[in-house]
Amino acid sequence: MTPDALNALLPDVVAATRRAAVPVMKLFRRSKQVWDKDGEGGETVRNPLTEADLAADKILREALPALLPGSAWLSEETTDDLVRLDAELCWIVDPIDGTREYVEGVPHFAISVALAWRGDPVLAVMLNPAEDDLHTGVRGGGAWRNGVPATGTAQATMAGATLLASRTESRRGDFEPFKESMSIREFGSTAWKLALVAAGEGDAYFTRKPRNEWDIAAGVLLCREAGVTVTDLGGDAHVFNRPSPLLRGVVAAAPGVHPGLMAMIDAIGTLE
């Protein structure tokens, strides 16, 4: 998986991602079927799934493994097959990260595609089709936003830094302790927030809760390639294609911001 080989593969992955965006945008801000994956029923849908998620997943599932025969598949919307653990290469996909925002008509969602090799993300494609905002990266080859090189910010300390924050977590009050030193901007989609930090639109993003591999795999690579420090809540590098896709959160920040942010998270505690 050399940078040259990955760059040769990238246009086909981008093309598949754009094809998956067609049904997503066809149903955006239009009537569509919405289910609650938690199956709780009632008027409140806590964990939404739409027909657009399933349509995009089907397109990507048919296209991506065919690009690399023998590669495995892990997606939020596909029943997990642990045969993937025997594969060196695994596609890690969220057909719509930020489905809640998608259902609400908020354009803060993304199609997130990553390729992991021996547990390490080596290729990423992230598309917010509502904004026509495309983020790509390959290991050792840099990160790009709409064809322009992406780099994280040079913010040196937490003081004055801009934190991109989950809308849900912000409204719950999870970021109150951080407001004294950081400004808060609310966005949907974990994946897209990571891409925006990689592109320098914010100095940091974190969640004190666990996240699944498909939420962060592409964003982790984009951040790494953009010079952003990205770890789990314990300060360790993420490893992907694990038996359980649930990982210990994510902390992505400019190198000067990350240590102080980790210290404050440690002092306050996680939400695991």
Residue 170, CB half-sphere, CA atoms under 13 Å: how many? 14
pLDDT at residue 178, as a whole number: 93
pLDDT at residue 271, as a whole number: 82
Say what the pTM is: 0.95
Query: What are 63's two structure tokens?
Result: 């296209």
CATH number of 3-149: 3.30.540.10
pLDDT at residue 1, as a whole number: 79
CB of 178 within 8 A of CB of 264? Answer: yes
Mean pLDDT over residues 33-55, rounded?
A: 80
Angle between helices 190-198 and 213-225 (to 10 degrees): 0
* Of residues 146, 141, 147, 148, the one with CA closest to residue 122: 141
CB of 125 within 8 A of CB of 17? Answer: yes
Report the alpha-carbon distance of residue 268 to residue 253 in Å, rounded: 18
Q: How confident is the model at residue 37 (pLDDT cuts 50, 70, 90)?
A: confident
CB of 158 within 8 A of CB of 182? Answer: yes
Mean pLDDT over residues 204-213, rounded?
A: 96
Interval 151-166: pLDDT, tens = 999 999 999 999 999 9
Interval 92-142: pLDDT, tens = 999 999 999 999 999 999 999 999 999 999 999 999 999 999 999 999 999
Mean pLDDT over residues 207-213, rounded?
A: 95
Domain boundaries, the chain: 3-149, 161-268
- Class of the CATH domain delimited by 161-268: alpha beta
Please tell me if the domain spanning 3-149 has the same topology as the one spanning 161-268: no
pLDDT at residue 168, as a whole number: 86
Residue 171, CB half-sphere, CA atoms under 13 Å: how many? 5
Report the alpha-carbon distance of residue 161 to residue 171 in Å, rounded: 20
Own/partner pairs for 23-31, CB < 8 Å, 24+ apart? Answer: 23/51, 23/52, 23/55, 23/56, 23/59, 24/52, 24/55, 24/56, 24/95, 24/96, 24/102, 24/111, 24/129, 25/129, 25/130, 26/52, 27/51, 27/52, 28/52, 28/102, 28/105, 28/129, 28/130, 29/105
Interval 3-19: pLDDT, tens = 999 999 999 999 999 99
Mean pLDDT over residues 233-243, rounded?
A: 97
Q: How confident is the model at residue 54 (pLDDT cuts 50, 70, 90)?
A: very high
Report the alpha-carbon distance of residue 246 to residue 240 in Å, rounded: 10
Q: How confident is the model at residue 167 (pLDDT cuts 50, 70, 90)?
A: confident
CB of 241 within 8 A of CB of 213? Answer: yes
Report the alpha-carbon distance of residue 58 to residue 63 in Å, rounded: 9
Is the pLDDT at 41 greater than 70, yes or no? no
Query: What are 41's two structure tokens?
Result: 């029923």
Range with the poorest average pLDDT among 15-24, 31-40, 65-74, 209-218: 31-40
List helix spans (H) across the chain.
3-27, 51-67, 99-104, 167-171, 190-198, 213-225, 258-268
